[in-house]
Every structure is written in C-alpha cells, then in structure tokens.
Amino acid sequence: MLAEVSALLAPIAAAIGYSSYKAWQFEHAYPNIGELTDIGGYRLNAVHVPRPDTADLPPLVFIHGASGNLLDQMGAFRQPLEGRAEMLFVDRPGHGYSDRGGDENALPSGQADAIARLMEKRGIEKAIIIGHSFGGAIAAAFGVRHPDKTAGLLFLAPASHPWPGGIDWYYHVASAHIIGWLFNHVVVVPLGLQRLEQGTLNVFHPNPRPSDYVAKTGPSLVLRPRAFYNNATDLKRLHKYLVANARHYAEIDAPTVIITGDRDEIVWEHLHSRGLARDIKGSELITVKGVGHKPDYLATDVAIAALEEIAGKPRDLPAIARKAEARLAGAPVDHTVGTVPPSIVYSAP
C-alpha cells in the first residue's frame, strides 16, 4: 500500500517542484521594476512617474486587465506620454508583485479602494483613471466610489456589464479551495506555457501582436500558482458583482471616453462599451473599426487624444479614429482564426 501511495504522490510532488522552479524563472525573467507601498496592512506595487515640469495633462492612473500586470499598460503608454504627465502604473491587488490584501480585493470595488489609497500615499489628489478590459470594471467602480479623486475616466475595451454565459472551466477549478490548489501547482504552469503563445495572439486578434509584446509585458507571471488563483477568483466573482453594481454607473459625472474595437471577440463592444455610453451621461463612445481587444496598443494615438480631450483640450476623436483606421488598414490582419478559442492565459474579460 505504501508503495502505491508513493507511486501516486511522486509525480505530483515532481510537478509541484517544477511549478515552483518555473515561478522562480518567471520572476527572474521579469523582476519587479516597481515600488511596493503599504496602504494599510498590505502592499501595492506600482511604477510611479513623477510629474515633469513639462506636464500638460493631469495625473494618469493605469489599471491593467485580467491575466496581466503593470507592464502591459506601461508598454503601450509610458513612452508616448513621457514628459506630459505624472503617471501611476499599478499591479492590481494579487497580481504582478502586489499583495492580495483582504477578501474585498477579489471585487472591483475593493481594488478601486486600494488604488485610491495608493494615490493618497503617492500624493496624487485627482487623476484620470484608465482601465483596460477587467480594469474597466475597476475604473468604473473608482468613478462611482471616489468621485473626488476622479478627474476623468478612459475605458479601453472595458468589461463593465453582465454577459450571457459563464467563464472558462479552468477558472472554476483554479478558484476552488482544495482541488484548486492542486490544479494551480500541478497543471497551470505546463498547460499555460503550451498556450501562452496562442493566448497572446488571441488577445490581439484579428490584429497582429507586436513582435516584442511577450518579451516586454511578462504574461507568464500570471501562471504562478497564487497569481493564477487570484486571477481566477476575480473572474469568477465578476459577473455577480456587475449584476449588483452596473446600475450605479449613472452616478458617474466625470468626463468619460470609451474606446473599443468592433472586432473584439473577448469583451463584446455592443454589450459593454455601448452599455457604458448609455449609462454614463455625457460620455463619448469611439469605435475603431477593424480593432480587436487591444485598442491600447493598436489605437494608442486615439487613446492619448481622448486623454487630452478629458483634460479640456479640443479634439475631434471620431476624425482621429478614422485616421487610425486608415493606418491600420495597411497592417496585416489575422484571418486564420475564425473565433477566438479560450486560453488559459487570456480569456474574457
């Protein structure tokens, strides 16, 4: 009997050891470039770019989406906005190198409150809040809960409303208490590494993924067992949260722009972005034709123009979006994937 048990446990122990080693490798490949700040019993990680003397925009706070970390939004926005604003690129609670904090941080409301406390610690009184994908739900919660700290809101392919259907099966497994621990320590790393390449291609579909995207943004960090558990828990709880809280979007009165692509198969434009435009009075919806789930990378110029408009500068966003469409029309389009398959690395929202 002992021999049978040992034969069963040995491969599990080996898989756990392999996952721990790979997690160390992921962190060695993508070391923390931010700074951890205690916000009341736990620490949030962020890259803080101080306000330059040449600033012409208010402070900007960037919130990444599911399966991501602060490197994702930094890769899109830091360089083109350098010298124009104070910037805060945040690892959401339990993601990247941030601590998880309490159970409230499994919800957009808790994560919004955590970011508000981080802003206070960093001396940022008011900022434009930028949320991509899942980060859109947090940006919306921030606008509802912290209007005094909200100079404006920019939503990029946001997840904001309840959607039909559910989430992928492995998020249910990964967020379970006992079987989830085993799944996250035994299965996630080898399976995730197999799917990482296709997963990051899918998130840009039908547009080409930048050739250096994986190397610069560290998507493998989400495969670490604790990070994957946190990511799965966020996704599992999102739908119920949105059912209860989407009605509060009507309370937002900050200047708001929503940018989405009409080819987004991860977060549906007709449900989420149009829903926000309907619910937030005075908001402006910009749909960029031919763009999938990554307008932050594919239409960065449109997003920056939106930040300028929110800051009070006159901008013709529809015209700027049409110019972006013309530019993108000359780029190669991926027609090899009919519908975007689920991925253990990137999945809606």
What beta strand segments (E) does 67-187 contain? 87-90, 127-132, 150-156
Mean of pLDDT values over 201-222 = 97
CA atoms of 175 and 344, how far apart (whole Å):
13
Strands (E) across 230-279 are located at 256-261
pLDDT in the model for residue 1: 59
Report, in this order, helix, strand and coil percent for the chain, each rounded to 5: 50, 10, 35
Is pTM beyond 0.85? Reply is yes
Residue 335 has pLDDT above 50, yes or no: no
Q: What percent of the chain has pLDDT over 90?
A: 90
**% of the chain exceeding 70 in pLDDT:** 92
Q: Does 334 score more than 90 pLDDT? A: no
Q: Check whether 64 has a pLDDT greater than 90.
A: yes
**Whole-number pLDDT of residue 12:** 87
Model confidence pLDDT, tens digit, residues 40-58: 999 999 999 999 999 999 9
Q: Is the distance from CB of 66 to CB of 94 less than 8 angstroms?
A: no
- What integer pLDDT is reported at residue 165 of this predicted model? 87
Q: How many Cβ atoms sit within 10 Å of the Cβ of residue 132?
A: 30
Q: For residue 10, what pLDDT is reported? A: 81
CA 300, 303, 309, 315 dihedral sign is positive
Binning pLDDT at 50, 70 and 90, where does residue 11 land?
confident
The yes-or-no verdict on residue 338 having pLDDT over 70 is no
Q: What are phi and psi of 125, to 5 degrees?
A: -80, -40
Enumerate domains of the chain plus CATH numbers.
Answer: 12-159+170-329 (3.40.50.1820)
pLDDT of residue 344: 46
pLDDT band at 339 (very low <50, low <70, confident <90, very high): very low
43, containing H or E segment? strand 43-49
Give the residues across from 162 on adjacent strands: none
**Is 38's pLDDT higher than 60?**
yes
Query: Contact at 8 Å (CB) between 90 and 115?
Result: yes
